Amino acid sequence: MRAFIFAALLAASSLGGGTARAETVEVANVKYETALDLAGQKLVLNGAGVRYKFVVKVYTAGLYLTGKAGTTAEVLAAPGPKRIHIHMLRDIDGNELGKLFTKGMEANVSRDEFAKSINGVLKLSEIFASRKQLNNGDTFTVDYVPGIGSTLLLNGKNVMPEPIKEPEFFASLLRIWLGEKPADDGLKDALLGVKREKRR
């Protein structure tokens, strides 16, 4: 009888562990959790995909929101915290990445919006320039929390002494991938959860 009870308890504990384990979505061998907590709120993976440059995979990106959104306008209007998480798939010069992000913002926002975002743009560029190079496997995450601002994490570590307070910065940053002239059309669809034929 004791053996039966022990076996039952063991089975129950293993089942409990299974339900607690976070589910993931795999993109280019990179795993993204389908749900996570940020600033005390539950976020869900809105979508994840790969940034291609011609046929070369540059990085994967995952977008987290408090609820699903299928358009850029819905993403930008979504309440609560947000996260964009990047996982590098090749080495890239830090200065080059900073410049690409700046160009991506300029191409997708008005001059007024860019002017309001400039403080964050400069801070982001400085951080990437000081890093000199991001290597294959490195990650960076930008979290936005209303009322606090945006923070940048490199390989899971906060590298900013204080958040970028301007909300316009995070909106401008997201438009790099979700604007009218996105970095990659396929990645835009993936982040918005739009189904497309997979690239080989």
pLDDT reported for residue 51: 97
CATH of the domain at 39: 3.50.70.10
The enclosing H or E element of 4 equals: helix 2-20
Q: What pLDDT does residue 196 have?
A: 60
Is 53 a domain residue?
yes
Q: Report the range of poorest mean pLDDT among 20-24, 44-48, 171-175.
A: 20-24
Q: How many domains does the chain have?
A: 1
**Each residue of 56-97: pLDDT tens digit?**
999 999 999 999 999 999 999 999 999 999 999 999 999 898
pTM over cut 0.75: yes
CA-to-CA dists, residue 47 to 70, 104, 114, 177, angstroms: 9, 20, 26, 12
Q: Which residue has the higher pLDDT, 150 or 5?
A: 150
Mean pLDDT of the chain: 88
Give domain status of residue 4, yes or no.
no
Q: Does residue 11 form part of some domain? A: no
Q: What is the pLDDT of residues 152-177, one digit of tens each?
A: 999 999 999 899 999 999 999 999 99
Assigned domain for 10 exists: no
7 inside domain: no
pLDDT of residue 198: 52
pLDDT of the residue at 85 = 98
Cα dihedral 7/8/12/15 (nearest 10) = 60
The answer to whether the beta carbons of residues 148 and 163 sit under 8 Å apart is: yes
Which band of pLDDT confidence, cut at 50, 70 and 90, is reported for residue 197?
low
Is the separation of the CB atoms in 150 and 123 below 8 Å? no
Per-residue pLDDT, 128:
87
Instruction: Evaluate whether 139 touches 84 at the Cβ level (below 8 Å).
Output: no
Q: Do 57 and 28 touch, CB atoms closer than 8 A?
A: yes
Residue 27 included in any domain: yes
For 138, the domain range is: 23-191
Phi-psi region of 51 (alpha: psi -120 to 50; beta: other; left: phi over 0): beta
Residue 15 lies in a domain: no
CA dihedral 174→152→100→64, nearest 10 degrees, is -30
In a domain, 159, yes or no: yes
